[in-house]
Amino acid sequence: MSNENKDTEGKNLQSEGSDGDHLENVEGGRDEHILQKLIDQINAEPHYRVVTKEEYDFLRLRRPPTSTPNVQQGLFDGTKPKFPPVSYPPLPIYPPGHVPMQGRVPSPGYVPSPRFFNNSALLQNTNPAPIKLPTFSGSEQTQKGEVSYDVWSYEVRCLKGQWPDHVLLQPVRSSLKGTAREILIPLGESASVDNILAKLEDFYGNVCTPENIMQNFYSDHQQEGESMQ
């Protein structure tokens, strides 16, 4: 092969190499342009940002901020955080049959004796049963479920010896209805149990039914010392 042909082939190879480098440069620039465009789009979002390798290394080595540096430092250093020891007072131990003081917790091994449960003072009912009185309406004919004035007043007088006036007053008012309750209206709201009994006694205490009058008439007879004149 002549020298002229060698020179021609060398120029052709050089030309082809230059064209390849040019294509690589064009493609590389296009890739960089596309990559930069993607980075710009990501950085445009408020919650994301593309960082450089130097920034990434700096953030990776940087410790997260904390409001308790001592505890957080121990967690990241692989050591246990130091907390002050917590101590509890020992539970008291009571002997059998002993009642613990109010506000103190008995020992788990403490079992009250049977007499602890049989204490009548502890089992006393602080809420006694409500007072119940029979109903009295003042009607001439005693209706079903009602009693006469004599029976009603007897029950009230028996309870007066057991309960104070402020406890007995409301049950007495609740046991009256109809005419008997209307009679108490002039007494007002401050009337006592004695006032109520006195008021009803004036109306119903000395009233005799026709049956009682006839019975007294037939059973009546002349007493010793009496005269027909």
What's the CA gap between 126 and 129, in Å, rounded? 10
**Could you tell me which residue, 171 or 113, shows the higher pLDDT?**
171
Does residue 172 sit within a domain? yes
Does residue 170 sit within a domain? yes
pLDDT, position 104: 54
pLDDT at 105 over 70: no
Domain count, the chain: 2
pLDDT, position 27: 65
Express each pLDDT in 191-226 by its tens digit: 999 999 999 988 887 655 666 666 666 666 656 666
Query: Is the pTM for the entire model greater than 0.75?
Result: no
Q: Two tokens at 49?
A: 């940002």
Closest by CA position to 175, among listed 209, 200, 208, 207: 200
Contact 79, 91 (CB under 8 A): no
Does residue 167 sit within a domain? yes
Contact 171, 154 (CB under 8 A): no
pLDDT at 19 over 60: no
Summarize the confidence of residues 105-114 as an average pLDDT.
52
Summarize the confidence of residues 167-175 as an average pLDDT.
91
pLDDT, position 116: 46
pLDDT, position 154: 92
Does residue 126 sit within a domain? no
Does residue 114 sit within a domain? no
Does residue 13 sit within a domain? no
Q: What is the largest CA-CA distance in the chain?
A: 195
Summarize the confidence of residues 67-83 as an average pLDDT.
54
pLDDT, position 229: 55
**Residue 156 sits in which domain range?**
131-207
**pLDDT-derived band at 156, boundaries 50, 70, 90:** very high
- The amino acid at residue 82 is K
Does residue 74 sit within a domain? no
Contact 132, 141 (CB under 8 A): no
pLDDT at 159 over 80: yes
DSSP string, 130-197: PP---BB---SSPPTTB--HHHHHHHHHHHHTTS-HHHHHHHHHHTB-THHHHHTGGG-TT--HHHHH
**pLDDT-derived band at 157, boundaries 50, 70, 90:** very high
**Could you tell me which residue, 89 or 67, shows the higher pLDDT?**
89
Does residue 190 sit within a domain? yes
> For residue 191, what are the contacts with CB-CB under 8 A and spacing of at least 6?
184, 199
pLDDT, position 211: 64
CA dist 2 → 5, 7, 14, 48, 55 (Å): 5, 9, 19, 65, 60
pLDDT at 32 over 60: yes
